[in-house]
Amino acid sequence: MEHIAALLFVVGCSNAMTDCRELNVPVSVFETQEACTAERPFALGDLQGRAPRIVGECLAVDPALEDDYDQIVWNVRPDGMLDASLEVSGTLLASASMRPEKDYLSQQ
């Protein structure tokens, strides 16, 4: 059985960062954090046009708990910072805050 070490989580927002929604990516789970980090810019680039502003982050997953997490709690701040965490019944497992990369802030 393959273990998951990282989850790529992507959100698309309006220009004002007031209306945001999760965006699906073709590959969202990775065996290593490094593989997720390497794929992130390509995934964000592939989603251009799906929302005016796109942010994404790789969340570390404990392989021993990969089947236990039941929700991703997230928020995009007005300054474009993505706060996201994996939780198991209200217990924080992994958290990330990421300022969006300039290339992915707005449609060209």
Please check whether residue 68 is in contact with residue 18, taking contact to mean a CB–CB distance below 8 angstroms: no
Has residue 108 been placed in a domain? no
Q: Which two tokens stand for residue 46?
A: 């592939």
Question: What Rg, from alpha-carbon coordinates, does the chain have?
Answer: 14
- What pTM does this model have? 0.76
Q: How many separate domains does the chain show?
A: 1
Has residue 13 been placed in a domain? yes
Q: Which domain holds residue 59?
A: 6-102
Place of tokens 């789970």: 29
Place of tokens 């995934």: 43
Which residue(s) pair with 76 in the sheet?
Answer: 82
Has residue 27 been placed in a domain? yes
Q: What is the pLDDT of residues 26-74, one digit of tens each?
A: 889 999 999 999 999 999 999 999 999 999 999 988 777 767 777 888 9
Q: Which residue has the higher pLDDT, 55 or 106?
A: 55
Has residue 71 been placed in a domain? yes
